[in-house]
């Protein structure tokens, strides 16, 4: 009961514009005052500091820095040029190129918004020139950008790994199949749209020489996921160290190609560490809240309440999906993840759901939240680049949302398929 009131305090404050970190701290302090556990503010802030200090969370800012360096350093432009030479001949070719470059960018960046911005700034104007409607182009970029947090590396997965005490490596491995499935579904849809609406019959097929000439300049970018992810999966370095390796590679590739100026680097470092600080502060505040609710035994109460209602794993997962889709409409993936994981993971474990599988379900759900109107990171970026209103995008989003739900259903109910890479490497 007290816990429900605390949630009301949190959502009440957050929805009237108080930053999430302060909303969480106020809710936690209210909780401490209402229960008679003898909690002190000193304990609260000690828990807060404990949440922000773990060394492996350094992977978060590092992958943000690497992603930013690659956006500034022309890596996305080269990936797009290569994808266009290879796939531009298909019907709906430019749509196919948008999705496939988003997938390639996802393999080197851990943020969905960065991917949408990098690919969208080139592809939305390109698609509009070819005759696509601006709202379709924006919707496609908003949806395909979310593959950025499904295919590894993924910042929300790094955070979940910390909150849920799961291996980052396993989570990363689990992201491949869902990300590729979503990408293929979107590619199929683009081909169908390009043909039926007559927007884009496809370009002339490129010759082998042209493919080669586009391949060479994108080779360093394409080799990055091999080095970074291969290093993690092969046990050569930890995910945190992989972040540092990614930063170094992005820096070398960007400077060598002269697309990145040395003068850009300080700004990228500053902005990336500010972004990571806002994420870390929410992690700290959630750790403080989790400290109180764990001592109060709230997760057990939730487990009991849900078990009294249903003992079916399938029904529970359906419930989780609905809850997260609703939450994802308003709250960005990382804070939503940190809020829900400590409460839902104990229930999931009690129901026999694999924690890696559960993390994947959470990430995929919240990725959808990035483009569900009216609020969402990739939705905002894409709408802004295309200069279209939410209402117009929504109509074009619906079929893509439907496809994403189909993939979500596969992710949720066919764990043997999506977790196959995890079992291979175990």
Partner 1 sequence: MSRGLNALERAIDWALIGGGGLVCAVVMINVIARYLLNVSLAWVNEFGETVFVWLTFLGSAKAVRRFGHLAVLEFVDALPPRLSRLLFVALWGLTAAVLATMAWYGAQISLSNMSQRMSVTGWPVGVLYWAMPVGAVLMLVFVVEQILSGKTFRDEAAEAPESRA
For residues 99 and 331, which CB has a smaller minimum distance to partner 1 in the complex? 331
Distances (CA, A) of 319 to 157, 266, 276, 309, 344: 21, 45, 31, 11, 11
Q: Please choose, out of 112-120, 131-139, 219-227, 393-401, the segment that lies near partner 1 by the rule CB under 8 A.
A: 112-120
Residue-by-residue DSSP string for 283-297: HHHHHHHHHHHHHTT
Under 8 Å between Cβ of 160 and 171:
yes
Report if residue 45 touches partner 1, rule: CB under 8 A: yes
Q: Does the footprint of partner 1 cover residue 161 (CB under 8 A)?
A: no
Residue ranges in 284-303 that form contacts with partner 1 under rule CB under 8 A: 284
Among 18, 180, 184, 206, binds partner 1 (CB under 8 A): 18
Q: Which CB, 270 or 307, lies closer to partner 1?
A: 270
Residue bearing tokens 């009294």:
308
Provide the minimum distance between the beta carbon of 66 and partner 1 in the complex, in angstroms, as a whole number.
9
Q: Give every CB contact of residue 17 below 8 A, 6+ residues apart in sequence.
A: none
Q: Is residue 111 near partner 1 by the rule CB under 8 A?
A: yes
- Tell me, by CB under 8 A, how many residues bind partner 1: 72
- DSSP 8-state class, residue 234: T
CA gap 53, 37 in Å, rounded = 26
Within residues 350-409, the interface with partner 1 by CB under 8 A covers 374-375, 377, 380-381, 384
Interface with partner 1 in residues 115-154 (CB under 8 A): 117
Q: Is 241 in the site for partner 1 (CB under 8 A)?
A: yes
Is 28:290 a contact under the CB 8 Å cutoff? no
Question: Quick check: 272 binds partner 1 (CB under 8 A)?
Answer: yes
Interaction between residue 224 and partner 1 (CB under 8 A): no
Examine residue 279 and tell whether it contacts partner 1 (CB under 8 A): yes
Binding window for partner 1 (CB under 8 A); candidates: 87-95, 216-224, 240-248, 343-351: 240-248
Contacts of partner 1 in 318-357 (CB under 8 A):
330-332, 334-335
Contact, 106 vs 374, CB < 8 A?
Answer: no
For residue 419, the minimal CB distance to partner 1 (Å) is 26
Strand boundaries in 59-117, DSSP class E? none
CB nearer to partner 1: give 41 or 323: 41
Tokens describing residue 240: 């945190």
Nearest residue (CB) to partner 1, 86 versus 247: 247
Interaction residues for partner 1, span 57-76 (CB under 8 A): 57-58, 60-62, 64-65
Of 19-27, 93-101, 203-211, 349-357, which segment contacts partner 1 by CB under 8 A?
Answer: 19-27
The set of residues, in sequence order, having a beta carbon less than 8 Å from that of 192 and lying 6+ positions away, is 92
What is the spatial distance between Cα 327 and Cα 365, in angstroms, rounded to a whole number? 9
User: Could you tell me if 168 and 239 are in contact, meaning their C-beta atoms sit under 8 angstroms apart?
Assistant: yes
Asked whether the beta carbons of 315 and 131 are under 8 A apart, the reply is: no
What the block records as the tokens of 219 is 């080779």
Q: Is 260 in the site for partner 1 (CB under 8 A)?
A: no
- Given a contact cutoff of 8 angstroms between Cβ atoms, the answer to whether 20 and 282 are in contact is yes
Tell me the C-alpha to C-alpha distance, in Å, between residue 132 and each of 128, 201, 224: 5, 11, 32
Q: Mark the segment that binds partner 1 (CB under 8 A) among 49-57, 256-264, 290-298, 340-348.
A: 49-57
Q: Which residues from 180-219 bind partner 1, rule CB under 8 A?
A: none
């Amino acid at each position: 009961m007290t816990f429900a009131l605390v949630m009301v305090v949190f959502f009440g404050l957050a929805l009237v514009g108080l930053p999430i970190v302060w909303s969480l701290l106020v809710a936690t302090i209210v909780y401490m005052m209402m229960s008679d556990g003898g909690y002190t503010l000193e304990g609260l802030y000690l828990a807060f500091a404990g949440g922000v200090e773990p060394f492996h969370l350094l992977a978060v800012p590092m992958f943000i820095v690497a992603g930013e360096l690659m956006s500034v350093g022309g890596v996305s432009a080269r990936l797009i040029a290569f994808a266009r030479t290879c796939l531009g001949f298909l019907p709906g070719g430019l749509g196919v190129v948008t999705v496939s470059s988003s997938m390639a960018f996802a393999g080197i960046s851990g943020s969905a918004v960065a991917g949408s911005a990098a690919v969208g700034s080139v592809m939305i104007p390109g698609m509009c020139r070819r005759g696509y409607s601006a709202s379709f182009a924006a919707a496609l970029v908003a949806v395909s950008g979310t593959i950025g947090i499904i295919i590894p590396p993924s910042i929300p997965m790094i955070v979940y790994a910390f909150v849920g005490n799961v291996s980052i490596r396993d989570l990363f491995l689990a992201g491949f199949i869902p990300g590729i499935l979503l990408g293929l579904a979107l590619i199929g849809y683009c081909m169908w749209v390009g043909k039926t609406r007559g927007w884009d019959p496809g370009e002339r097929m490129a010759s082998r020489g042209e493919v080669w000439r586009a391949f060479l300049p994108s080779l360093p970018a394409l080799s990055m996921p091999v080095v970074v992810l291969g290093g993690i999966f092969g046990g050569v370095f930890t995910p945190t160290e992989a972040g540092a390796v990614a930063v170094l590679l992005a820096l070398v590739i960007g400077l060598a190609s002269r697309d990145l100026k040395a003068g850009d680097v300080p700004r990228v470092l500053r902005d990336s560490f500010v972004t990571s600080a806002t994420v870390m502060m929410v992690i700290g505040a959630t750790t403080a809240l989790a400290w109180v609710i764990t001592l109060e035994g709230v997760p057990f109460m939730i487990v009991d309440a849900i078990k009294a209602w249903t003992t079916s794993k399938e029904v529970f997962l359906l419930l989780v999906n609905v809850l997260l889709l609703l939450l994802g409409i308003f709250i960005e993936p990382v804070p939503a993840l940190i809020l829900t994981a400590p409460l839902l993971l104990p229930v999931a474990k009690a129901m026999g759901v694999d924690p890696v599988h559960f993390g994947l379900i959470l990430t995929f759900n919240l990725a959808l939240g990035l483009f569900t109107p009216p609020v969402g990171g990739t939705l905002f970026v894409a709408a802004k680049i295309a200069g279209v209103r939410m209402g117009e995008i929504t109509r074009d989003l619906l079929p893509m949302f439907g496809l994403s739900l189909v993939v979500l259903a596969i992710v949720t109910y066919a764990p043997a398929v999506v977790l196959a890479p995890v079992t291979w490497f175990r």
